[in-house]
Structure formats: C-alpha cells, structure tokens
C-alpha cells in the first residue's frame, strides 16, 4: 500500500510545487495551508514552483543513522528560490554525492530527483541536493 | 489570582535503570516529594495531579499512569505532553490551576523510561516525513545551529565544548546525575563524531528517571512549610524555522518569546536571574540559550561560557546539577527535576552544588523538538524566594 502521507505530499515532493502568500510573500512549502505562518493572516495564495537549486544556510554531517540512509550524510537548511522570484522557501536538504569536506554555508546546490527510501516495498521519490556539476571538485 | 508556592521536591537517581519499571520510578519520586515537605503532608491532601511523560516505552497513556504507582485515584489527573518541555509544561499547567483556584495542593509528576525500547525517536525523526524531517536526527537539528553560530559569530569549537566541561564538572558533584565524570575540552573535541560539528561528549545520554513536585496555594502554604519557594512567572511559546526568520538559524525564537512572557510576569529582567537550569540536550543548545534568555548579547554565548560566568562559582551559575549533559534527560522528568533543583538552590539545600551568590530568583528552561523543527516549543518557569 502506498501510504496516504506520501500520496498527499506528491506535488511538493516530486514537482517542488509551492504557494506564495499574497500578503507578505512567505512561501508555503511543502504545505498548502490557508493560514500564513509568517503574517498569520488567512491570505490569498499564488501557486508557484521552486527552482531546482538552492543556497546552504547551515549544515551538519550525520555519521550515525538507520540503515535506510547513506552515511556520512550531509544535511543542510536550504533557501530554495521560486522560479518567479520573490522570497525563497526554507527547507531541509538531504545531500548526495557530496564530500562532507565540500559543503559550506553560502554554497549553491542543485536538486536532483531521487528515490529517497521505500515504504512497504514501494519507492518514495523526492529531491536530494549536490554540488552543481560545474563546481564539482 | 492566588500566589503559588513549591513546598516539596523529590526525584530518584537518574541513570540506566533496567531493574526499575516506570511505576517503580514514579512511586519512589512521589514518596520522596512527600517526604521532602517540611511539615506533615498526606496523600489525602492532594486535590489534583499533573503528569508529564512522552510515554516513549508505552506505560502511561492515560492519567492512570500516575494514579497506579501513586495510589492517587478518584481525582483529576491531567497528562501533559509537550516534547522535551513536557515536565516544565506539566509544572506550569499545575501552577495555573492552583492559581485559578481549582486546587489547593497539586502534585506534578514527570517520568520517562528511555532505555526500555531501542527504536523510537531516531526512526521517527528520520523516516516519517519526506521533506520536513527526513533524515534529520536530534543531533542534526541542534548541530545546524552550531554550524551557523560558528560561521556567523566566530564561535569556536572549543567554546562549544566548554559547556560540556562545565556541566560534567557540576554533575560529578551531583548525587542524582547519570554521568559523574569530569572531562576536558580536548576530551570533548576528540570524542567520536556523532553529527558534525557535534561529538559524543556534546550530547546528553539516554537516561531513565522520575521527579515529583508538590505545589500549594497561598491559602494553605503555612500548613506545609515556613520556607516556601514562590512561583514568580512562566512563559510558553512555539516556533518553526520554516517561518523563514534568520534568527532561528543560530538561535531559538521560541525561547525569546517564552522568556519575555516569564520575565514580564515575574517583574524581573535577565539580570535578576541568579541561578538557572536550562536545556542542554547538546552543548550548543545551552550556548545559544544564554543569548536567548538575555544572559549575554546575541553572538556572545561562546565568550560568556569561556569567561566562567555560568560556572558553579561564577556570577550567574547555569546548570549546577550538571544539566542534561551529565544528569541525563528522561524527557517527562527533565523539567520537573530542573524545577526541583531551583527550589533547592533557593532554599540553600543544594549540597555540593549549592551556588554561592545567595540566589533570590531562579529560572528553569526547556526547549523541545516537534514536527519539523527544533525550538518548536520552549517553556520557562521562574521561582523566587520572595512572594510575588
């Protein structure tokens, strides 16, 4: 069975679909709420899409995780811009194919569509981040 | 609203308590709290109870989890769950009820069995949510603040480690602590890496424990003690880094909000706090909490701990009990045990870890993880030697 949470979140997980608050510009991602978490108004929203590239705001390198994960696993808080401009979304970014030595605050990272893990034998797809090809060391 | 006082505090030695059940721990903490009341108290005096537990090992999902080990049936028992702020929120909730007049004598009991099940938190945090929490474990949630704090303010790895050194020094003197060893800055930075930039000695242990507190209204306080410790103020707030506020990258806005509420209610400022028990699940948590509570300016947490100010013999001792790093972090019990430590400090009964600045105001603080964020909840309680 494909679990309901992953089905509900498919647009966000698989297409980086988001919404922008018309009142304050905050980006709701990966959720589609009516109440804005920044200005707290029940605002109007505009559908938007995120770029497949973001900027690292902070990061860690996880060394000990359940078997489902690759380790060492760099993980960052990312600012991911909207394709149409405006404020970026602030999200967690799992990294892949990235040497822990080569991750830094301020670096740009590209989103790559990947299978992140399986639920009851069925794959859950979403984005992981890595150094842009041109910047690869 | 009525004034509320703490009149009794009990806990058990925290640790790896495989030989004790949840009920064994809760019963002993409760009896220790009753024993601690200066004048006689009987279980018949208790009007209501507040029960803090996340119930990680699944022993306690209703109020019966408190009634069964304590024998306190046929009265209101409210179970409180608020992530790592569970114990302090249970205390706050009990205080509010006594203030409002719905009870004169209330019990706060916090307990957690952390060692009886192997899975739980790490698997939930890592797998449950694809975007929001995927692959994010507890050390990662907090380590993200450490990386950013070091980058933004030039905080050094050694300054972060100082928190562990200080708290283990205190914990070695504290009889109920899980870990009673001392360590050096070198020990911390050389210990195995858990999640860069945090190492093993930057992390609190996984600990079983229970703690209980007896609080009473001003109307009956004289029946129980001539030396009460008063509740001066409290604060509780939530936040998420997804709101996009930059201050949440290197700190916890929820703590700032909760502190503002608590200081205002107590009619004090950060300068008036003489001793504090704060959340130090990881070294960096305590370091940024100095800033969030207003003990020092933003960005100066590293220099603050390096200066010795929060040491046991410093001007503003923080975590005289050894904190979560040494004492341990049995979630539901953690905040209750912190309240108890502040109560003992203000009464001058803290033994080998008694602070020497003749404290008048003491502060207790927890921060918790929930959903997608650290700092998703923060709870603060301020106690005072003087009636508000």
Q: 0.80 exceeded by the pTM?
A: yes
Mean pLDDT of B305-334: 98
- Residue B293 C-alpha from the chain's centroid: 14
> Is the C-alpha dihedral spanning B54, B256, A18, A55 positive or negative?
negative
Q: How far is CA A44 from CA A35, A36, B9, B284, in A?
A: 9, 9, 52, 39
| Range in A74-78, B131-135, B287-291 the model is least confident about | B131-135
State the Cα–Cα distance between residues A65 and B21, nearest whole angstrom.
29
pLDDT at B301 over 70: yes
Peptide bond into B310 cis (omega under 30): no
Mean pLDDT of B156-166: 98
State the Cα–Cα distance between residues B121 and A102, nearest whole angstrom.
29
DSSP string, A57-85: EEEEEE----TTS-SSEEEEEEEE-BTT-
Q: Write out pLDDT tens, residues A69-118.
A: 788 999 999 999 999 999 999 988 989 999 999 999 999 999 998 888 77
Q: Which of B120, B125, B126, B134 to mutate to test the interface with A (most CBs of A within 10 A)?
A: B134
Distance from CA of A51 to the nearest CA of B (A): 16
CB count within 10 Å of CB B152 equals: 16
Chain A positions touching B242 (Cβ under 8 A) are 37, 90-91
Q: Write out pLDDT tens, residues B63-92.
A: 999 999 999 999 999 999 999 999 999 999
Q: Token pair 């957690």 is at which residue?
A: B112
Distance from CA of A9 to the nearest CA of B (A): 8
Q: Which two tokens stand for residue B104?
A: 């004169």
Distance from CA of A1 to the nearest CA of B (A): 16
Per-residue confidence band for B298, with pLDDT thresholds at 50, 70 and 90: very high
Peptide bond into A72 cis (omega under 30): yes
> Is the C-alpha dihedral spanning A61, B142, B160, B56 positive or negative?
negative
DSSP string, B94-135: HHHHHHHTS-SEEEEEEEE--SS-SSSHHHHHHHS-SSSSTT
Q: Are strands B48-52 and B77-80 parallel, antiparallel or unpaired?
A: parallel
DSSP assignment letter at B208: B
Q: Are A36 and A58 in contact (CB under 8 A)?
A: no
Mean pLDDT of B302-308: 98
Dihedrals phi, psi of B178, to nearest 5 degrees? -65, -50
Nearest CA in chain B to A66: B123
What does the pLDDT read at residue A8? 77
Among all residues of B, which ones are annotated catalytic? 84, 329
What does the pLDDT read at residue A1? 45
State the Cα–Cα distance between residues B339 and B86, nearest whole angstrom.
12
- Residue B111 C-alpha from the chain's centroid: 13
CB count within 10 Å of CB B260 equals: 14
Distance from CA of B197 to the nearest CA of A (A): 7
Q: Are A11 and A19 in contact (CB under 8 A)?
A: no
Residue B383's closest CA among B362, B366, B360? B362
State the Cα–Cα distance between residues B198 and B176, nearest whole angstrom.
26
What does the pLDDT read at residue B124? 58
B42 three-state secondary structure: coil
Q: Which of B131, B196, B244 sits opposite A38 (nearest CB)?
A: B244
- Residue B334 C-alpha from the chain's centroid: 5
Q: Write out pLDDT tens, residues B327-369.
A: 999 999 999 999 999 999 999 999 999 999 999 999 999 999 8
DSSP assignment letter at B9: E
Q: Which two tokens stand for residue A96?
A: 């892949």
Nearest CA in chain A to B138: A62
Q: Which of A26, A58, A68 sits opposite B144 (nearest CB)?
A: A58
> Residue B243 and residue A38: Cβ atoms within 8 Å?
yes
Q: Are A22 and A47 in contact (CB under 8 A)?
A: no
Q: Token pair 């192997």 is at which residue?
A: B118
Q: Are strands A108-119 and B48-52 parallel, antiparallel or unpaired?
A: unpaired
Q: How far is CA B155 from CA A115, B304, B305, B323, B347, in A?
A: 37, 11, 11, 21, 36
Q: Which two tokens stand for residue A48?
A: 């938007």
- Residue B314 C-alpha from the chain's centroid: 21
> Does an H or E element contain B78, and which?
strand B77-80
Q: Are strands B105-112 and B48-52 parallel, antiparallel or unpaired?
A: parallel
Q: What is the ipTM of this complex?
A: 0.92
Per-residue confidence band for A136, with pLDDT thresholds at 50, 70 and 90: low
> Residue B243 and residue A58: Cβ atoms within 8 Å?
no
Mean pLDDT of B144-151: 97
B140 three-state secondary structure: helix
> Residue A68 and residue B127: Cβ atoms within 8 Å?
yes
Residue B321's closest CA among B308, B304, B300, B336? B336
Give bridge partners of residue B217 from the DSSP assignment. Answer: B4
């Amino acid at each position: 069975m494909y679990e309901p949470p992953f089905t509900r979140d498919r647009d966000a997980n698989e297409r980086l679909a988001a919404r922008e608050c018309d009142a304050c510009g905050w980006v709701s991602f990966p959720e589609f709420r009516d109440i804005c978490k920044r200005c707290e108004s029940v605002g109007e929203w505009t559908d938007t899409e995120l770029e497949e590239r973001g900027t690292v705001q902070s990061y860690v390198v996880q060394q000990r995780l359940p078997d489902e994960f690759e380790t060492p696993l760099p993980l960052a808080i990312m600012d991911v811009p909207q394709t149409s401009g405006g404020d970026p979304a602030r999200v967690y970014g799992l990294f892949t194919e990235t040497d822990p030595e080569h991750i830094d605050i301020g670096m740009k990272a590209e989103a790559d569509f990947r299978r992140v893990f399986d639920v009851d034998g069925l794959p859950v797809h979403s984005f992981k981040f890595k150094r842009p090809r041109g910047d690869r060391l | 609203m009525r004034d509320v006082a703490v009149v009794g505090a009990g806990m058990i030695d925290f640790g790896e308590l495989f030989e004790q059940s949840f009920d064994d721990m809760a019963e002993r903490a409760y009896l220790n709290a009753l024993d601690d009341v200066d004048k006689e108290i009987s279980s018949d005096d208790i009007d209501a109870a507040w029960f803090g537990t996340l119930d990680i090992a699944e022993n306690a999902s209703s109020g019966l989890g408190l009634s069964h080990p304590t024998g306190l049936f046929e009265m209101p028992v409210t179970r409180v769950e608020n992530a790592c702020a569970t114990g302090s929120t249970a205390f706050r909730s009990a205080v509010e009820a006594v203030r409002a007049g719905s009870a004169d004598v209330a019990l706060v009991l916090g307990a957690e069995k952390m060692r009886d099940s192997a899975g739980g938190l790490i698997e939930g945090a890592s797998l449950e949510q694809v975007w929001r929490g995927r692959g994010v474990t507890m050390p990662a949630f907090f380590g993200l603040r450490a990386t950013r704090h070091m980058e933004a303010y030039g905080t050094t790895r050694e300054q972060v480690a100082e928190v562990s050194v200080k708290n283990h020094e205190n914990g070695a003197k504290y009889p109920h602590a899980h870990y009673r060893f001392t360590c050096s800055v070198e020990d911390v930075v050389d210990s195995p890496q858990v999640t860069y930039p945090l190492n093993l000695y930057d992390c609190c242990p996984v600990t079983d424990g229970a703690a209980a507190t007896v609080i009473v209204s001003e109307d009956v306080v004289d029946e129980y003690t001539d030396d009460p410790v008063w509740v001066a103020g409290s604060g509780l707030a939530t936040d998420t880094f997804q709101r996009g506020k930059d201050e949440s990258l290197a700190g916890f806005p929820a703590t700032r909000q909760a502190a503002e509420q608590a200081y205002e209610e107590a009619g004090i400022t950060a300068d008036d706090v003489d001793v504090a028990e704060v959340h130090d699940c990881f070294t960096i948590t305590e370091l940024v909490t100095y800033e969030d509570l207003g003990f020092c300016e933003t960005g100066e947490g590293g220099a603050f701990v390096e200066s010795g100010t929060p040491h046991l013999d410093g001007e503003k001792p923080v975590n005289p009990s050894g904190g979560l790093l040494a004492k341990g972090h049995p979630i539901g019990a953690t905040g209750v045990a912190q309240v108890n430590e502040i109560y003992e400090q203000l009464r001058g009964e803290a033994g080998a870890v008694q602070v020497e600045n003749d404290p008048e105001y003491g502060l207790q603080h927890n921060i918790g993880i929930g959903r997608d964020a650290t700092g998703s909840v923060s709870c603060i309680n301020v106690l005072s030697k003087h009636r508000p």
